[in-house]
Every structure is written in structure tokens, then in C-alpha cells.
Amino acid sequence: MKHFSFLIVENLSSYLGGSKGGSFIKKFVSLVFIVFVILTLIFTLSPVNKENPLDNNSIIELPLGSSEEIDFSFLKTLLEDKRIVFLGESSHGVAEFNEIKVDMIMYLHKELGFEIVAFESNLGDAIAVQNSVKKLAPKEMLRGSLPGVWVTEEVLSLFQYIKETSLTDSPLILSGVDVRPTHFFNTWFEDLLSKIGDSSKNEYRKIVEQCTAFNLMYSAKPAKEREDCAVRYDNLLSIVKKNENMFTREFPDFPELLSLVELELNTRISYVRNYPDSDAPIEQQADMRDQMMSTVLKSLFEDVFPNKKIIVWGHNDHIRDQNSKVDVAYVDGSKTIISMTERLPETIKMDSYIIGLYMGSGKTAGNDRTVHSVNEEDGIQKDGTLENILSRGNYDAVFAELSHAENNQENKWMFQSLEALSWGYHREYIPNIRENYDAIIYIKEVNPPLYLK
């Protein structure tokens, strides 16, 4: 556009210079009118105008879906003093969310030294898969450690990367923060206990059989039976602690394994004692889940991996810092709860950077893989919503940096209450988006993931 303007001025100069006599005034008036029209077009068509909130240094275009590789070098300055990065998502069923986060995780590992990736998935399963990484194929690793929402072609590439780096001196280590149902861990842990003795293995098998309702069905159980499960888990934990030498001998390349197993068993003890029954209000179940996930993440950060940088992958509802202040119009009438991140100590929050992901249009999948259209009427088409604001530039995807933004004409939306969409159809009202996120990644049009069969 600048080059175009220069050519116009140059041609006008030549034109005026060639004018003679009385025709000069006539030509001059005509040219003034032409210049006025051209300048009007320039300022109308240019992306640099006051109506476009994306015209500022806080917005970075991300060339998603093109042959051009995304340059994440802008993250170096933003994350130079951070030990934990949260990568959110407004829906678990978006291919583009998966793709961009996988690319970012690889960059964070290669260039910025982040060594742990912890999913909103069961801690025990992640432990078992990580310990078996050299024996398992990437698809087996993926299926063994993550819930079905992420068993996709896009996420598979991350597990191929985890597999590849496991053979190097700088592996990307898989972990989890969730406390819900586990499968892969049970088989792996039985094999581990056989190294201690058959009695321990058999006892664990009996515990799983007796307490499986807690782990799989959230069924109501008498308090006495719950406590019996907790005590038996605690006895098993004592046996594990007494066999520290076995862990050192058998797993010399995974020094954190004992601490991780202890954390998983302690989490199960807390689960069977405290997790609400299946008929309890959904907010009560969700609140306890985030409380326990926060405890797990705090332990990973402070105790298990005290000198390592961690990436956390989860839904926006779990990773944003002031989730309890967000009003979401859930169809079942449930309310928002205090999130996993919101419960963390301020010392950890100061060491973190939170990125929320949102979408504007297209199709997304629910947790059951049912595909539905994104509600454009309440999102991208509604003036003043987060999706509407971030769609005003001609970009397929943008990174909006909030934490360092100045409150000016272009950035004023960052300092105001906003509406946005969760899951592509739940309206959410965010009083202050900068209190919840340090940055937003917005993708204009999305598609469901390619699920593995």
C-alpha cells in the first residue's frame, strides 16, 4: 500500500509538471479530486485504521494451515522468566487447537528448555506410559495415557516426538494432573509390585477390585468402606516407600519415578476419602476435581520436578486464573468453580504464563465426538464479543498478548468485560480477561479432530 501511494505521487508530479497555460488550473482541480478519492480508498482499505483493534504490537499473526512454519520466537521474551506455561482450549474437539499446541510444545522444548508436558489426564497413566516409552509405539503411548478426546492424528505427532526425544539427553517427559479413571497404570503397577513380591501385587489387585467403583463409576459407598479402601492404599504406599532401593536399581534413568508413584497413591487415598458420590451436584464434583488437580500440579512443580519447566494442557475452565468470576450459561444450569490454576499459590502463579484458546466459526466435536457447528450468532457475529473483535483482521489465527498491553484505543477491549463462547456454544461473561489469561490464541475457522480408529 505504501509502494502504491508512492507511485501515485510520482505520477501526479509528472502530470503537473507537464501542464502549460490555462489548462494548468483545470488539471490541478481535477488532480486534487483524484488524490482525494485515492487517499480515501487507501485509508478505507488499509488494515491500519482506528476501527481495527488488531493494529498494534500486541497482536501477532499465526500462519496456521499454510506451508509456512509458525515462528514462535516472540515467546522467548515473554517466557524468559517463567517455569510453567498453561495451554488452554475452549473445546477439546478442535483439530487446529491440537495442531498449534503441538507445534508450540515442540518449540518450547527445543528452544526454551521446557521438559515436562502435563495433560488434563490421569497422572498414573502418564507415569506408566513414560516409564514404558522405549517399549511402546507412539499410538500405544497415546491410547494408554490420554482420554479419547485427544486420541487424534494431530496429537499423535506429539507422541512421536516424545518417543524420539526419549532416545536423547533432553527428553520431553509426559505427565498428567487429573485424578479421574485410570487403566494403563493398573497393569503396569502390578508388574512393578511383582518385583517387590507377589503378596503386594495380589493385595493391589484386590484393592482395585474392591475400590473400582470409586475410580470408574463414582458410585455412592458407605463411609466405612471408603475408609477401608484408603487405609489399604496407605498400607501399600508404606510398602512402596520401604523399597526405594528397588526403584533406584530398576529405574536409574527415571529418578522421579518413586515420587510420582507416591503422588499417585496419595491422590487415590484422597480420592476415595473425599470425592463426591455420583448423585452429588455437578458443581460439587467439578470443584473437588479441580482442587485435587491443583494439589497434583503443585506437587509436580514444587516437589517432583523442582528444577524443570512444565507445560500444562487443559481446558480453559481449568487453566484460567479467575474462573470463579466468569459467568457461563451452561445448559444444565451449573455454575463455574474455582479452577485448578486459581487455587495455586501466588508464588507459582507469578512463575506462570496462561494462554487461552478460542475459535470463531466452523465445527467442533464434543467429548463424545459428536460434531456440532460453532454458534456464530452469539460469537463472531455479535458485536463486541471476543470472537468478533479478534476476527476483524484478515487473519486465520492470531496471538493476542494481554499481560504487557497498554490501555489505549486499540487495546481497550483487553481492559473491558467481554463475552466469549465455551465449547462453541456456551456463552461466558468474563469481567476482566487480563485477570484470567496472559494471552489469547484465536482461530477464525476450525474443524473437528481426526480421531484414531
Residue 422's pLDDT is: 95
Q: Do the domain assignments include residue 107?
A: yes
User: Do 217 and 260 reside in the same domain of the chain?
Assistant: yes
User: Do 190 and 166 reside in the same domain of the chain?
Assistant: no
User: Do 440 and 377 reside in the same domain of the chain?
Assistant: yes
Residues whose CB falls within 8 Å of the CB of residue 439, separated by 6 or more in sequence, listed in order: 78, 353, 354, 355, 356, 399, 400, 401, 402, 403
Domain-ending residue, one of 274, 304, 338: 274
User: Which pLDDT band holds residue 219 (cuts at 50, 70, 90)?
Assistant: low
User: Do 266 and 309 reside in the same domain of the chain?
Assistant: no
User: Which pLDDT band holds residue 154 (cuts at 50, 70, 90)?
Assistant: very high
User: Do 255 and 207 reside in the same domain of the chain?
Assistant: yes
Q: Do the domain assignments include residue 282?
A: no
The lowest-confidence range among 27-36, 111-120, 262-271, 306-315 is 27-36
Q: Side by side, which strands form the sheet with 426-430?
A: 327-328, 426-430, 418-422
Q: Is the pLDDT of residue 1 over 60?
A: no
Q: Do the domain assignments include residue 421?
A: yes
Q: Do the domain assignments include residue 280?
A: no
User: Do 91 and 128 reside in the same domain of the chain?
Assistant: yes
Higher pLDDT, 113 or 199: 113
CATH number at residue 332: 3.40.1660.10
- Grid coordinates given for 359: 475459535
User: Do 315 and 382 reside in the same domain of the chain?
Assistant: yes
Q: What is the pLDDT of residues 383-418, one digit of tens each?
A: 999 999 999 888 899 999 999 999 988 899 999 999
Q: Do the domain assignments include residue 403?
A: yes
> What domain range is 198 assigned to?
180-274
Residue 36's pLDDT is: 58
Q: What are the start-end ranges of the H helices in 113-243?
A: 123-131, 138-145, 153-165, 184-194, 198-216, 223-242
Q: Do the domain assignments include residue 51?
A: no
Q: Is the pLDDT of residue 249 over 90?
A: yes
User: Do 190 and 162 reside in the same domain of the chain?
Assistant: no
User: Do 31 and 64 reside in the same domain of the chain?
Assistant: no
Mean pLDDT for the stretch of residues 30-44: 53
Q: Is the pLDDT of residue 448 over 70?
A: yes
Taking the C-alpha atoms of 56, 60, 65 and 70 in order, what is their torsion angle to the nearest 10 degrees? 150
Q: Do the domain assignments include residue 339?
A: yes
Q: What is the pLDDT of residues 333-392, one digit of tens each?
A: 677 899 999 999 999 999 999 999 999 999 999 999 999 999 999 999 999 999 999 998
Q: What is the pLDDT of residues 271-315, one digit of tens each?
A: 988 888 777 888 888 999 999 999 999 999 999 999 999 999 999
Mean pLDDT for the stretch of residues 318-336: 84
User: Do 162 and 246 reside in the same domain of the chain?
Assistant: no
Q: Do the domain assignments include residue 283?
A: no
User: Do 21 and 99 reside in the same domain of the chain?
Assistant: no
What is the total count of domains within the chain?
Answer: 3
User: Do 83 and 203 reside in the same domain of the chain?
Assistant: no
Residue 41's pLDDT is: 45
Judge whether 425 and 375 are in contact, CB under 8 Å: yes
Instruction: Say how far apart CA 256 and CA 173 lie, in whole Å.
Output: 11
